[in-house]
Chains A and B, each alone.
Chain A
Amino acid sequence: MSVRLESLRLVRSRRPLVAAGALLLFLVLMLVGFYTYAQSRTGGAAEFRYTFENRSYFNGLTFALYAFYFGFVLLLPIFAATEGGAQLAGDTGAGTLALFLTRPVSKARLFFTRFLVAAGYTTLVTGLFLAVALALGLVAVGWGDLRLYPGVLQMTDRPQSLAQGEALMRFALVWPAASLALLAPLAFAFWISSLAKSAVNAVSTAAALYLVLYLVAEVHFFAELRPWLFTSHAAYWRELLQETPDLEALLRHASASLGFTCLFLALAFRRFRRREEGA
């Protein structure tokens, strides 16, 4: 299985275009929300640049953080699930898996090449999303220091601030950290994909299960379950944007996320290696 062939198939599919369009639309909506929220809440009494948190809170970096965070928890995992689900199940449903299985290439190579390309694509989409969010923040609002206040993102219980240069460097680290976190939903979708016989079933099941598990992880009733859910560990990259990152917590959650990735991949590969085609 060649990376070149899989990459060519990905580029020629509509998935990258759909992902790019959806993420851009999301960023524009977030920007509109930022500009209009204070206006609608205060009946025009406040300047349009005021946010619902604090006027000094709003700048391009804050916008990028908000947009990236909400995109990360709700949009990017869905794209990861779509990509993962479309792989094995897509080829099974279309019958094209036989094209590859009738070539002298191992199932391990077939499987891991696909995962590699899907992981590379997810990393690229994540980086692009973050870069566009930052660029949009710069063009529409202008950068400044990144200020964190207690609030919606639940990142801090006291006001914090990172100088612009430092914050941009931290954002650069957020990219690989967030990409690594997205491998867990991607591997989860691969597992579902190895069980399903059509891409539609695999994608919808993976996306639905991700959303359910994400909500369960967020609901306080199930706080005890959190360590056992891969969705609870995903947002560890936020630690990188603290004044003083808690590296121990960051590593703990990153390890847990990587552990879930390996577990899902092992389950998916075991299923793919053992299953019969056309049974």
Chain B
Amino acid sequence: MDVMALERRFGGRRALVGVELEVRAGEIVGLVGPNGSGKTTLLRVLAGMLRPTAGTVRVAGFEPVAEREEVMRVARFAFAPPALLENLSAREHLEHLAALGGGKVERGEVARVLALVGLAERADERVRAFSFGMRQRLALALALVPRPRLLVLDEPTEGLDPLAVLELRGILARLRAEHGLAILLSSHLLIEIDQLVDRMLVLSEGRMLFTGRPAELTAASERVRWRVSDAERAIELAAARGLAGTRVGADELEFAAECAPLAEVAEWLARGGVELHEYRRTRATLEEALRARLGAERSA
């Protein structure tokens, strides 16, 4: 999947501006951003449901609006919230929808996928009686039959209990490892993104705020903290070495990540009459790092 300089306007409002995205086989990419950031618009553009105002979008080499059928032969999209045919059972969903477009799906394959998402026991019940979590599972099952080369999941963990989230994580990891599937998933649950994706794209008000590995986002927030016997004196000693520290507590100082190594610091401080009780590196969680970026973006 290749997205270049994508722009989408709704009247005068720019919902997506200059979005670039690449998803390769065997890669899991996360799409993150607050409500209204343009995630769903981007997914709908990728599915050919919305036309780009400018820029290029290619899915498996096809243009999604003009060649939607070709795109849907290799890619499968599951939008949130999962919309299903209320009067059909889970099994009927899989049998009928998977067969659309000429594909014939084996009964065994349907049973296997239903078991995979934990719906085997309720396969013949009509969907109208399903909980939100069960609908999510069925939407995932629908996205897996017949097996695509690219899977696009919109908020796949929403409504799932922690165990189901864990199972989903396992399923996606297995699909990637065993079948080389490319997966693009949007999620609000940053912990999921952090643990599952290779790369992530963060959108804010339609613009790209960050793209790269989650670790790269948190790396920028890395700091070094010293706990010392005399904070005032320690600041003076650090300043003499060209290090700018800030006090974050009665006996604690914070420095940039590029601060001098532990042995060196301990030595200067000891020579200056200050005891170093603790030297540790801190890193913001993905959520904290993202919040900081969003805050900086907004204030800018």
Residues of A within 8 A of B (CB): 1-2, 4-5, 8-9, 12-13, 94-96, 98-107, 276-279
Q: How far is it, in angstroms, between the C-alpha of A102 and the C-alpha of B46 when the chains are bound?
A: 11
Residue in B10, B79, B92, B99 whose CB lies within 8 Å of A95: B79
Taking a contact as CB atoms under 8 Å apart, the answer to whether A104 and B69 are in contact is yes
**Can you list 9 A-B pairs, Cβ within 8 angstroms, ordered by A?**
A4-B96, A5-B96, A8-B92, A95-B81, A99-B84, A101-B48, A102-B77, A104-B72, A104-B103
B95 to chain A, nearest CB (A): 9
Residue in B10, B49, B78, B100 whose CB lies within 8 Å of A1: B100
Q: How far is it, in angstroms, between the C-alpha of A149 and the C-alpha of B78 when the chains are bound?
A: 63
Which 5 pairs of residues, A with B, have the shortest CB-CB distance?
A: A95-B83, A104-B101, A12-B87, A277-B49, A103-B100
Task: Please indicate the chain A residues that have their CB under 8 angstroms from the CB of B236 in the complex.
Answer: none
> How many residues on the B side are at the interface (Cβ–Cβ under 8 A)?
33
Residue in A2, A9, A101, A277 whose CB lies within 8 Å of B85: A9
A270 to chain B, nearest CB (A): 16
Residue in A2, A94, A277, A279 whose CB lies within 8 Å of B100: A2
Taking a contact as CB atoms under 8 Å apart, the answer to whether B72 and A102 are in contact is yes
Q: Does B40 contact A (CB under 8 A)?
A: yes
Taking a contact as CB atoms under 8 Å apart, the answer to whether A99 and B83 are in contact is yes
Taking a contact as CB atoms under 8 Å apart, the answer to whether A96 and B85 are in contact is yes
Taking a contact as CB atoms under 8 Å apart, the answer to whether A279 and B69 are in contact is no
User: A274: nearest residue on chain B (CB-CB)?
Assistant: B51
Q: Does B88 contact A (CB under 8 A)?
A: yes
B100-118: CB near A (< 8 Å → 1, else 0) gives: 1111000000000000000
Q: How far is it, in angstroms, between the C-alpha of A151 and the C-alpha of B48 when the chains are bound?
A: 58
Taking a contact as CB atoms under 8 Å apart, the answer to whether A105 and B100 are in contact is yes
Task: Please indicate the chain B residues that have their CB under 8 angstroms from the CB of A101 in the complex.
Answer: 47-49, 68, 72
A69 to chain B, nearest CB (A): 34
20 other contacts beyond A5-B100, A98-B83, A105-B72, with CB at 8 A cut-off? A2-B96, A4-B96, A5-B97, A8-B96, A9-B88, A98-B49, A98-B77, A98-B79, A99-B84, A99-B97, A100-B100, A101-B68, A103-B72, A103-B100, A104-B69, A104-B70, A104-B73, A276-B49, A278-B40, A278-B50
A278 to chain B, nearest CB (A): 5
User: B8: nearest residue on chain A (CB-CB)?
Assistant: A279
B59 to chain A, nearest CB (A): 12
Residues of B within 8 A of A (CB): 10, 40-41, 44, 47-51, 68-70, 72-73, 76-79, 81, 83-85, 87-88, 92, 96-97, 99-103, 142
Q: How far is it, in angstroms, between the C-alpha of A105 and the C-alpha of B40 when the chains are bound?
A: 22
B172 to chain A, nearest CB (A): 18
Task: Please indicate the chain B residues that have their CB under 8 angstroms from the CB of A12 in the complex.
Answer: 87-88
Taking a contact as CB atoms under 8 Å apart, the answer to whether B96 and A102 are in contact is no
Taking a contact as CB atoms under 8 Å apart, the answer to whether B84 and A103 are in contact is no
B151 to chain A, nearest CB (A): 11
Q: How far is it, in angstroms, between the C-alpha of A9 and the C-alpha of B89 when the chains are bound?
A: 11
Task: Please indicate the chain B residues that have their CB under 8 angstroms from the CB of A94 in the complex.
Answer: 83
Taking a contact as CB atoms under 8 Å apart, the answer to whether A103 and B88 are in contact is no
Q: How far is it, in angstroms, between the C-alpha of A8 and the C-alpha of B96 when the chains are bound?
A: 10
Given contacts A103-B101, A104-B72, A278-B44, contact A9 B49 (CB under 8 A): no
Task: Please indicate the chain B residues that have their CB under 8 angstroms from the CB of A1 in the complex.
Answer: 100
Task: Please indicate the chain A residues that have their CB under 8 angstroms from the CB of B85 in the complex.
Answer: 9, 96, 99
Task: Please indicate the chain B residues that have their CB under 8 angstroms from the CB of A104 in the complex.
Answer: 69-70, 72-73, 100-103
Task: Please indicate the chain A residues that have their CB under 8 angstroms from the CB of B77 in the complex.
Answer: 98, 102
Taking a contact as CB atoms under 8 Å apart, the answer to whether B50 and A8 are in contact is no
B295 to chain A, nearest CB (A): 30
Task: Please indicate the chain B residues that have their CB under 8 angstroms from the CB of A106 in the complex.
Answer: 69
- Choose among B77, B100, B101 the residue with the greatest number of A CB atoms under 10 Å from its CB: B100
Task: Please indicate the chain B residues that have their CB under 8 angstroms from the CB of A95 in the complex.
Answer: 79, 81, 83
Q: How far is it, in angstroms, between the C-alpha of A107 and the C-alpha of B87 when the chains are bound?
A: 23
User: B71: nearest residue on chain A (CB-CB)?
Assistant: A104
B138 to chain A, nearest CB (A): 11
Task: Please indicate the chain A residues that have their CB under 8 angstroms from the CB of B79 in the complex.
Answer: 95, 98, 102
Task: Please indicate the chain A residues that have their CB under 8 angstroms from the CB of B142 in the complex.
Answer: 99
Given contacts A102-B47, A105-B69, A277-B49, contact A8 B84 (CB under 8 A): no
User: B103: nearest residue on chain A (CB-CB)?
Assistant: A104
